[in-house]
Homo-oligomer: A and B are copies of this chain.
């Protein structure tokens, strides 16, 4: 391999044949896609045909790393799961922290491709060149923490990294997650269901090699300074102490805390879901992923009450929202218990909570009743019922079976107007933001490649801390409007700028919390670092990186277009476009999506009518080859 930072190898797990195959990484991909998300998009588009069932053996599941995964660069331990999504049938990806990605690199592979389907339950064991597909009949049915412990125990190695599915993945719950290190979730879009459909209970990886960058000395020096920047950043320190829980108070203050299934943006019980309340009462230790000096993960313990005895990591802000304010529950232990159930069963906490919120609102409005639910009264704020229903979803028991389809499919099944309470974009449930009080979010949710997204499309360039970036890119005169959350003006620029930066972040792959919030590293930092890591001089230009980012966004768009996605699908639930925010700081606000879409399409080089890349854009980004793979 002539490039630094890569192993140069792709490992394929051929489940049909019960075998493995190692291939060289096509080196031309490096300059065009860098790695991570980019590599995965390139391979998935070519190898998984359009219109197939995501839960069929034709689908593939990829685990990809980037050129600095497992190196000294701060927070470089993340990895990405990519597949045609079980939840939405379109582009699916889900990033995860922990230590899995570095382990895959140390084992000698840039990417893992799981294809076909096993006849009976198996787990995949990768120990450097020692590759095994092992019968998992005796592990089937286990929760993720149990199967993780069992595999480490069986192979007598506590350092084996295990990515596992729980019962939800086995039952192909549409939003089933893959859980790494017991509590780090590749949560969204249903990666767990794809693994479950392939009869793969877990992927266990152990590597003893290392990652060699192009310029060891230069890279190491830069990485050291990068760590220092992380350590000295006051917002990073705050994130280390409070984790994403700090967002509860922020969101409440600006009237954007999703409450009662996004009906409003303020929650009377917000304080009990806030960092200052939770940490002294429940947190017993901090945790960090590979190469992270922030440590935003928190271990928590509930000493008394309904969920006494619960010891679990997380939830993030999104979990506080999904099982707290959004369900009218002002109780941290309930959100912790929900997080535990989601981790152990292997479910995405956002989609799970949002689907329960959908059901509660449908129940409140008489669209479903106790006959439908098997006697459960789905009332806001009912903590015990909420956890019970969540467990039923994880095992597809009773009414849980319908909700296990996710809110969009469940609403379609239920009919009778239930659809209006299913808050999703392209089938994926809306995350813990609200376009009405943060207009760029509206555009991000509507255009995100995997549906309503808070990680690939959540915009920050219009927020405090990013003034320099925004002013430099779009002009200081535009700054007042850029940071005004209640205008549609310039929001496409903000989305475009943020999304491009995230694309590079996700090719590397580094953590959200050094790029997106707080803004420690941005495009120029990656341009400084990437040539040292890889030896590719062109990566030293922000323009080149922007082009690579654009290529990634467009490739995912073309992937979705093949599944029938176009402008009509870049929408928002009517709650955000037609129901003014009823109270709080953002009272009266709605999203006017169409002008923002026009602006965004223009920036992306997409046809205003179809919302798809023009031929010119396809040529400019060298994506003509996509036409070959229908």
Contacts and interface: CB of A to CB of B under 8 A. Distances in A.
Interface of A: 138-143, 146, 149-150, 153-154, 158, 284-285, 287, 299, 301, 303, 308-309, 311
A550 B438 CA distance: 82
Given A146-B301, A158-B158, A301-B146, A308 B153 contact: no
Given A146-B301, A150-B301, A311-B146, A284 B139 contact: yes
Contacts of A142: 301, 309, 311
Contacts of A154: 284-285, 299
Nearest to A299: B153
Contacts of A141: 303, 308-309
17 contacts: A138-B301, A139-B284, A141-B303, A142-B301, A142-B311, A146-B301, A146-B309, A150-B284, A150-B285, A150-B299, A150-B311, A153-B284, A153-B285, A153-B299, A154-B285, A154-B299, A158-B158
A284 B141 CA distance: 13
A166 to B, nearest CB: 11
Nearest to A137: B303
A396 to B, nearest CB: 16
A287 B155 CA distance: 10
A195 B303 CA distance: 20
Contacts of A158: 158
Contacts of A287: 153
A100 to B, nearest CB: 17
A154 B288 CA distance: 11
Nearest to A158: B158
A142 B146 CA distance: 19
Contacts of A284: 138-139, 150, 153-154
A572 B146 CA distance: 43
A287 B301 CA distance: 29
A284 B139 CA distance: 8
A149 B309 contact: no
Q: Which are the 6 A-B pairs with shortest beta-carbon distances?
A: A154-B285, A146-B311, A153-B285, A138-B284, A150-B284, A153-B299
Contacts of A146: 301, 309, 311
A138 B303 CA distance: 8
A62 to B, nearest CB: 29
A346 to B, nearest CB: 14
A150 B150 CA distance: 19
Given A142-B311, A143-B309, A150-B284, 18 more contacts: A138-B284, A138-B301, A139-B301, A140-B303, A141-B303, A142-B301, A142-B309, A146-B301, A146-B309, A149-B311, A150-B299, A150-B311, A153-B287, A153-B299, A154-B284, A154-B285, A154-B299, A158-B158
A81 to B, nearest CB: 25
A311 B287 CA distance: 25
A392 to B, nearest CB: 15
Contacts of A153: 284-285, 287, 299
Contacts of A301: 138-139, 142, 146, 150
A311 B144 CA distance: 12
Contacts of A299: 150, 153-154
Nearest to A167: B309
A373 to B, nearest CB: 24
A99 to B, nearest CB: 12
A496 B527 CA distance: 80
Contacts of A285: 150, 153-154
Nearest to A311: B146
A462 B78 CA distance: 62
A150 B285 CA distance: 7
A226 to B, nearest CB: 22
A284 B149 CA distance: 11
A139 B308 CA distance: 12
Contacts of A138: 284, 301, 303
